[in-house]
């Protein structure tokens, strides 16, 4: 499929799933705004690589997804540069693994801000333009943890359940304007976010890191395989296709059967 002349913004796309989705959109010919933190030289190398993949232009914006004003400016800058934002992918996310009694208060606020509220701010800013042009796609990267819980992840599970509700509400509000709103709910993908929580989970549960992978991360994933970023990019592109025009308000698990059980 082609996304030529479409513009996508992908939050948190200097790494992991977001980078994979940005790559998929760039290869399909879209203009893409990548976003996120990291080493400036590495980000520029990725931006240049993505820019070479398709007909569109790929730019970087380092807006902080915990800052509502910065998020609004991020959307406005993309609209000014490309004449509109057609696809919003809310993907930026962080994690903390800690029992609720000792969960750091500042991490709760930050996780809710980045993993949930940032989606409200991007959509609030981008939806008027989508409605005006009569076409838009909101894709929220939730998680299997948007549908079911796991211990020690209160803020993350709360934010991901919240984003599923947000997804559905936007779907209803925009249904007659050519705009769909869906959530993708991945199971475990081996990205830096997951790699980082392996030692913490091992400590919280008193087990080895190998046991965390086998007995915790893949325990509920019936395929016994990690989901890949390429598979998620394929799903996101499908949601942008004409075939998906009537798919809206969905929280789509891509989780190896985790939430089926």
# residues near ligand NAD by CB under 6 A: 30
Interface residue with ligand NAD among 3, 9, 10, 17 (CB under 6 A) is 17
Cα–Cα distance measured from residue 217 to residue 210, given in angstroms and rounded to the nearest whole number: 10
Q: Which stretch binds ligand NAD (CB under 6 A): 25-33, 48-56, 85-93, 173-181?
A: 85-93
Smaller CB distance to ligand NAD: residue 109 or 245? 109
Q: Is 54 helix (H, G, I), strand (E, B) or coil?
A: coil
Q: Is 199 helix (H, G, I), strand (E, B) or coil?
A: helix
User: Is 64 a binder of ligand NAD (CB under 6 A)?
Assistant: yes
Cα–Cα distance measured from residue 128 to residue 107, given in angstroms and rounded to the nearest whole number: 32
Contacts of 184 by beta carbon, 8 Å cutoff, 6+ apart: 139, 140, 141, 142, 232, 235, 236, 239, 252, 254
In whole angstroms, the minimum distance from the beta carbon of 242 to ligand NAD comes to 26
Site for ligand NAD in 170-189 (CB under 6 A): 186, 188-189
Q: Which stretch binds ligand NAD (CB under 6 A): 1-9, 21-29, 88-96, 205-213?
A: 88-96
CB atoms within 10 A of CB 128: 11
For 5, 112, 221, 233, the CA distances from 107, given in Å and listed in that order, are 39, 8, 27, 29
User: Is 92 a binder of ligand NAD (CB under 6 A)?
Assistant: yes
CB atoms within 10 A of CB 237: 20
Interface residue with ligand NAD among 8, 18, 50, 258 (CB under 6 A) is 18
- Give the binding site for ligand NAD (CB under 6 A): 11-18, 35-38, 64-66, 91-94, 114-115, 141, 143, 186, 188-189, 191-194
């Amino acid at each position: 499929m082609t996304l030529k002349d479409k513009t996508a913004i992908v939050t948190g796309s200097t790494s992991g799933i977001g980078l994979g989705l940005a790559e998929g959109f760039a290869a399909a010919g879209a203009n893409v705004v990548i976003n996120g933190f990291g080493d400036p030289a590495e980000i520029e190398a990725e931006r240049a690589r993505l820019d070479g993949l398709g007909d569109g232009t790929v730019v970087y914006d380092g807006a902080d997804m915990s800052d509502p004003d910065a998020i609004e400016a991020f959307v406005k800058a993309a609209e000014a540069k490309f004449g509109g934002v057609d696809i919003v992918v809310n993907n930026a996310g962080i994690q903390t693994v800690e029992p609720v009694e000792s969960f750091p208060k500042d991490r709760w606020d930050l996780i809710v801000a980045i993993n949930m509220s940032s989606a409200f701010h991007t959509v609030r800013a981008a939806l008027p333009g989508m409605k005006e042009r009569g076409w838009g796609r909101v894709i929220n990267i939730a998680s299997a943890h948007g549908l079911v819980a796991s211990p020690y992840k209160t803020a993350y599970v709360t934010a991901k359940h919240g984003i599923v509700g947000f997804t559905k509400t936007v779907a209803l509000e925009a249904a007659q304007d050519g705009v769909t709103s869906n959530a993708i709910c991945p199971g475990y993908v081996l990205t830096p976010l997951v790699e980082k929580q392996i030692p913490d989970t091992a400590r919280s549960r008193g087990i080895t890191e190998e046991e965390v992978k086998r007995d915790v991360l893949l325990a509920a994933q019936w395929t016994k395989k990690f989901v890949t970023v390429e598979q998620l990019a394929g799903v996101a592109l499908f949601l942008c296709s004409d075939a998906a025009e009537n798919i809206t308000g969905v929280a789509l698990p891509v989780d190896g059967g985790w939430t089926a059980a």
